[in-house]
Amino acid sequence: MHMVVSLAGRDMLCLQDYTREEIETILKTAEMMKIWNKIGKPHRVLEGKTLGMIFQKPSTRTRVSFEVGIYQLGGLGLYFSANDLQLRRGETIADTARVLSRYVDGLVARVYSHKDVEDLAKYAKIPVINALSDFSHPCQALADYQTILEKKGRIAGLKVVYVGDGNNVAHSLMIAGTKLGANVVIATPEGYEPDKRVIKWAEENAAESGGSLELLHDPLEAVKDADVIYTDVWTSMGQEAEAEERRKVFRPFQVNKELVKHAKPDFIFMHCLPAHRGEEVTDDVIDSQNSVVWDEAENRLHAQKALMALVMGGIKV
């Protein structure tokens, strides 16, 4: 018997809180949203609902995709910058969460510290979606695996290789990939490995799903026979002081024509964007036939619409 998966009222802070079936439900819904968009079928499943969007960090894709997404679902998005809300400086996060819960039906937050989004969720009476914290970027990983599924027809058994900094994007990619049965390989310079908690989770996920996790320090060994090669900027927001040092350390981890020769001929190249061309990736890779970065960026819209529709109570799958 097919069980109905209801995610109504759930927060999305980190994909480790979700089962494989729940993640697959979001991905199936995202695929449906994309089809509806393409054929122009109205899907105003959140008619009259409002989404509060709290941004401590500037953003292009995240802000636009959530604003357009809630609008296409029939709702209204309200954007608050850090200055609008005086978070932590004026009103506490707990009080902000309590007040906004009385006005809006869901919250999206892009924050520096993961604790901020956890506190919002703890005190809000409505679903809270993490639109990026220093620890995880679940919305990005949902769009990523939607893209992999589209391009490759499956996720389980694929070799998904991340080359670069063991950061928030790497964390979410590892967590979701190992839950979905992929063979995830993370190649970082020494000292830039992912968080130990995330490594432990991913190993447990892989044991359950039949996937695997490998941590390497050699990008060449990592990308051998890769189905997917993924990278991200070497210096994230808030780390600007380390930029020069990071450039030196990460130089051998650049994804360039030489490196990708070792992947499968039909590998796909992915990047969460914005890209620093000439640093973590060269033009001849990001602009190549193998690159799917623009489809991946588009899928942020569809994956986030799916997530909002499910947690804000619009649809059951």
CA 229/CA 293 separation, integer angstroms: 11
CA 160/CA 174 separation, integer angstroms: 9
Active site residue 137: yes
Catalytic one among 271, 300, 302, 304?
Answer: 300
Sheet containing 128-130: give its strands across. 76-81, 50-55, 106-110, 128-130
DSSP E strand stretches across the chain: 50-55, 76-81, 106-110, 128-130, 159-163, 183-187, 212-216, 228-231, 268-271
Active site residue 139: no
Active site residue 102: no
Catalytic one among 232, 246, 254, 304?
Answer: 232
Asked if residues 252 and 195 have their Cβ atoms less than 8 Å apart, the reply is no
Residues whose CB falls within 8 Å of the CB of residue 238, separated by 6 or more in sequence, listed in order: 112, 134
Catalytic one among 140, 146, 254, 304?
Answer: 140
Catalytic one among 61, 63, 137, 271?
Answer: 137
Tell me the C-alpha to C-alpha distance, in Å, between residue 170 and each of 30, 156, 167, 173. 21, 18, 5, 5
CA 300/CA 206 separation, integer angstroms: 25
Q: Which of 161, 153, 142, 150 lies closest to 264, judged by CA? A: 161
Catalytic one among 110, 171, 246, 302?
Answer: 110
In eight-state DSSP terms, residue 237 is: T
Active site residue 88: no
Asked if residues 238 and 134 have their Cβ atoms less than 8 Å apart, the reply is yes
CA 116/CA 229 separation, integer angstroms: 31
Asked if residues 62 and 130 have their Cβ atoms less than 8 Å apart, the reply is no
CA 312/CA 105 separation, integer angstroms: 7
Active site residue 272: yes
In eight-state DSSP terms, residue 17 is: G
Catalytic one among 10, 272, 302, 304?
Answer: 272
Active site residue 14: no
Just list the catalytic residues: 110, 137, 140, 232, 272, 300
